[in-house]
Amino acid sequence: MSTGLVRYSVLGWSPAVLTIALSLGTFMWAQAPSTPAAVAPSAPAAQAPYLAAPPVPQPLTVDPLPPVDPKDFTIATPKVETVNSFLNQVWGYDTNRLWRVMAIQSTQAPGVTKVIVYLASKDASTKPQVVILYITPDGKYIIDGPSLVSFSATPYAETRDLLKARANGAARGSPSKDLMLVEFADLQCPFCKVAQTTMDQIVKDFPAARVVFQQLPLVNIHPSSFKAAAYGVCAQKQSDASFFKYASGVYETQEGLTPTTDDTLLRAAAMRAGLDGDAIAACAKTQATKDVVNSYIKLASDAGINQTPTLVVNGRPISLGISYDLIKQLIVFQAQLDGVATGATANILDPTPPPQPTLSTLPK
């Protein structure tokens, strides 16, 4: 069968061109190339503050996807049912999306499986697209550009269980972990600073969710982030509320953090949170506190998280760079998949954006 690669950019993330947005569960439509040999990356999507309401699908009069040819299924595993279950977890939030598994085949690479999926929209706003998935020899992962994505009928379950057991950052909202939203954030990351407006709104909109601030200092690009996280560990020992006040104070003076000024600014942030600045500073220097910060970094690595800010909804990673409307939609969908309550009002998916940061709060 003749196929071509669909390529896209993930809105709000690095501009790397990948094959399919599996890790975020989102897909940016792109026109399929006329020939597989001439594939070019699509232009970056415009960063609109909020997505427009999706079009109402019209009843289909003609099947937009071609029929399956049994001869294109040359190996027994994975089964079509497993692929469909996986894709429903990843794409099912978008009720305007149709797909059909067209082939499951071996490849020249020993043990690597190729799965070909055709993708279309119910409203016929785009032509059918071709998506190619490559599955690792152990059958556990899909190769998604530079990343590996868990492949199974329930691809987010393992990460969900991992974070329920080990995500111990400061929390807001419900004490229950049935719907657990874990934000991986860096106190020196300017985009994390902006994302706190969205996180505050999520706490209000989903009262049944436990919303965790899990520190992930990106030490290679933010030289003061590890120390800021250490102060945060000590602030959280006083209370979760103390941590959030401290974090807010760090974000207020974030631009001034340097290796020569960070102790002064972090101590001041602790004091503005009502804490003993000298005691917090002394606590932050201990090996026990540094070990806690290193455990945070290890947890993120084990969960496959290497960018901030990232929101993980019951194991499902979501970029906080996408629209708030889409974030809400994904939270509701994942909760439905897991059979848990959100506590949200019936009109939660109405396009009512949270208050936006002023220009003075945007990263320089």
Rounded Cα distance between 189 and 308, Å, is 7
> What tokens does 278 get?
């000298």
User: Which amino acid, 251?
Assistant: Y
Q: Do residues 18 and 329 touch, judged by C-beta distance below 8 A? A: no
Q: Which two tokens stand for residue 306?
A: 């290497």
Question: For residue range 175-208, what is the model confidence (pLDDT) as tens digits?
Answer: 999 999 999 999 999 999 999 999 999 999 999 9
**157 within 8 A of 315, measured Cβ to Cβ:** yes
Q: For the segment 211-262, what is each residue's pLDDT rounded down to a tens digit?
A: 999 999 999 999 999 999 999 999 999 999 999 999 999 999 999 999 999 9
Contact 129, 121 (CB under 8 A): no
Q: What is the DSSP letter of 254?
A: G
Question: Lowest mean pLDDT: which of 48-52, 92-96, 97-101, 148-152?
Answer: 48-52
Average model confidence (pLDDT) across the chain: 84
Residue 113 predicted with pLDDT over 80: yes
- Rounded to two decimals, the pTM is 0.80
Lowest mean pLDDT among 22-31, 67-76, 215-224: 22-31
C-alpha 15/C-alpha 7 separation (Å) is 12
Specify the amino acid at residue 120. Answer: A
- Taking 80 as the threshold, does the pLDDT of residue 36 lie above it? no
Tokens linked to 79: 């089964």
Length of the chain: 364
Six token digits for residue 196: 């706190």
Helix (H, G, I), strand (E, B) or coil at 102: strand
Q: What are phi and psi of 225, to 5 degrees?
A: -70, -35
Q: Considering only CA atoms, which of 316, 354, 350, 311 is closest in space to residue 333?
A: 316
Tell which residue, 193, 198, 247, 257, has the closest CA to residue 223: 257
Strand bridging mode 141-144 / 147-150: antiparallel
Specify the pLDDT at position 347.
Answer: 84
The answer to whether the CB of 344 falls within 8 A of the CB of 70 is: no
| Residue 353: predicted pLDDT | 57
Q: Which domains does the chain have, with CATH numbers?
A: 70-150 (3.10.450), 158-361 (3.40.30.10)
* Strand, coil or helix: 8: strand
Average pLDDT of 129-140? 96
